[in-house]
Amino acid sequence: MAADNPFHHQRYTSERPSAPYEVMTATPPPPVESVEFTARLRAAGQLLRAAGVKAIYLVHGTFTGNDAWGIVRQIGRFAPQSTPWLKRMAKNAVDFATRDCGNYSQQCAELLEQSMSENETSRIPVRLFTWTGENHHLGRADCAIRLIDELQCRFAGSTARVLLWGHSHAGNAFALMTCLLGSGGAPRHEFFRAAYSHFVRRYRPRDEVWWRVHKLLRAEGNPLSQLQIDCVTFGTPIRYGWDTTICNEPLHYVYHRPAESLPEYRAKFPPTVDEVMRAAGGDYIHQLGIANTNFQPSLLDWRSWFANRRLARLLQAGICPRDLHEHLRAGMRVAEQGKSVLVDYGNPDKAIHRHAAGHAIYTQLEWLLFHAEDVSQRLYGSANQGSQQIVR
């Protein structure tokens, strides 16, 4: 982590990455809920229990949350009592429309929890964590704040181990969370000062979650220092830097199919429409969702708009909008921190609305066993091989 700015941003370069990575070809697992599927998933669960994992959180990405466009927050300005109901209805609608397409479903959580357990006493809780899903700095910062609050409420003072799975920009929320927990008083103060207009509003109730975490992080040190946090990201665009003293080395999965004319760690740009429709190069949202592709909060909610603008100066310092095309051409697939696993899942047999330009494949139930086995093997020991390594 950069000493002068805990909230540093990763660089965009076409040079060979210094961080470790592998290129792999995934072998399709057996059918979901088959005898072999359950047995292998249970073996992965044994590794997690042996490592002391007490909970797994599945965190969805952008646009699949409970207020992706900030509309509920704006309505809440005038009718705050309706906010919980509106968020619940919005998330239910998203879950119904997407199921497991770029979204962690309730079925996924229940299947993972039940299949990894030998009995009720050995069960590791698998929880769905919901955030707004907004595509901007403030939305991801809000996710990080609420994750800290969740972990503090459930695991304060605990030496337990927690596994976080994050799809898309949820992984960048994890990165912000580590930087918040790992930074000192002055950088934290700068972060909350930038977002102050969002969570403390004159003449209206303040955001109690932000306020609790604000008070929690006023002091130096990490209030969750005894908690062991493991972070796994799936299709997370390269953005914010990590504080790897807070979590163990993050593990990044990226759907990638190397181009013949480029090194195996780079993606072709620009792709053709046909390539995007077929996900010929892998996950195009991972490639395109880098810095300066945010949406903005509505100007009607000007306090959040200003907070997002101020957070951009802190979280994206030195990244110029005019350099976006150059950064896209770099096509970097490997994050600067942690270990990246570039996985070829093969040709998707679904239409683009089901694979979302390659970005939805990570959350689909058919690949749940592959991910569970590979994650458990890499983080906690050896597990049944669900893939074939090609390049290291």
For residue 381, give the DSSP letter.
S
Domain contains 7 = no
For residue range 298-316, list pLDDT tens digits in order: 888 999 999 999 999 999 9
Domain contains 267 = yes
Domain contains 228 = yes
162, β-bridge pairs: 55, 229
Instruction: Tell me the backbone φ, ψ of residue 229, rounded to 5 degrees.
Output: -115, 125
Domain contains 130 = yes
Say if residues 18 and 334 touch (Cβ distance below 8 Å). no
Instruction: Give the Cβ contact number of residue 77 at 10 Å.
Output: 13
pTM, full prediction: 0.95
Instruction: Give the Cβ contact number of residue 34 at 10 Å.
Output: 12
Q: Which residues contact 266 (CB under 8 A, 6 or more apart)?
A: 14, 258, 259, 330, 331, 332, 333
The residue range of the domain holding 262 is 21-391
For residue 287, give the DSSP letter.
H
Using CA atoms, how far apart are residues 298 and 306, in angstroms rounded to an integer? Answer: 10
Instruction: Tell me the backbone φ, ψ of residue 165, rounded to 5 degrees.
Output: -105, 125
SS3 state of residue 13 = coil
Give, rounded to a whole angstrom, the gap between the first and last alpha carbons of the chain. Answer: 25
* 63, 96, 312 from 90: Cα distances, Å: 11, 10, 27
Say if residues 122 and 49 touch (Cβ distance below 8 Å). yes
Instruction: Give, to the nearest 10 degrees, the angle between helix 170-182 and helix 185-194.
Output: 130
92-94-95-97 Cα dihedral, nearest 10 degrees: 120
Instruction: Give, to the nearest 10 degrees, the angle between helix 302-315 and helix 185-194.
Output: 140
Say if residues 140 and 166 touch (Cβ distance below 8 Å). no
Length of the chain in terms of residues written = 392
The pLDDT value recorded for residue 270 is 96
Domain contains 367 = yes
The pLDDT value recorded for residue 382 is 55
Domain contains 3 = no
Domain contains 9 = no
What element of type H or E holds 310? helix 302-315
Number of domains in the chain: 1
Domain contains 16 = no
The pLDDT value recorded for residue 4 is 61
325, β-bridge pairs: none
Using CA atoms, how far apart are residues 373 and 375, in angstroms rounded to an integer? Answer: 6
Token pair in block for residue 323: 């350099």
24, β-bridge pairs: 343, 389
Say if residues 67 and 60 touch (Cβ distance below 8 Å). no
Q: Which residues contact 305 (CB under 8 A, 6 or more apart)?
A: 296, 297, 298, 299
What element of type H or E holds 252? strand 251-255
Using CA atoms, how far apart are residues 379 and 30, in angstroms rounded to an integer? Answer: 23
Residue ranges for the chain with pLDDT beneath 70: 1-4, 202-204, 382-392
What is the CA 235 to chain-centroid distance, rounded? 8
